[in-house]
Amino acid sequence: MAVPEALLKALRERGLDIGDVVDILAGISDIDPPVAAAAHAELAARAFREALSLVDRGDVVQSSEKLYKAAEEAVKALAIARGLNEAKEALSRGRWTVGLLDKAAQKLGDAAWRAWDAAYFLHVNGFHETRIDITHVKARIPLIEPLIREAEGLLHKP
Which domains are assigned to the chain?
15-156 (1.20.120.330)
Q: What is the pLDDT of residues 76-123, one digit of tens each?
A: 999 999 999 999 999 888 889 999 999 999 999 999 999 999 999 999
- Please tell me the least confidently modeled range out of 14-18, 132-136, 149-153: 14-18
DSSP per residue, the chain: -PPPHHHHHHHHHTT--HHHHHHHHHHHHT--HHHHHHHHHHHHHHHHHHHHHHHHTT-HHHHHHHHHHHHHHHHHHHHHHTT-HHHHHHHHHTS--HHHHHHHHHHT-HHHHHHHHHHHHHIIIIIIS----HHHHHHHHHHHHHHHHHHHGGGG--
pTM of the model: 0.83
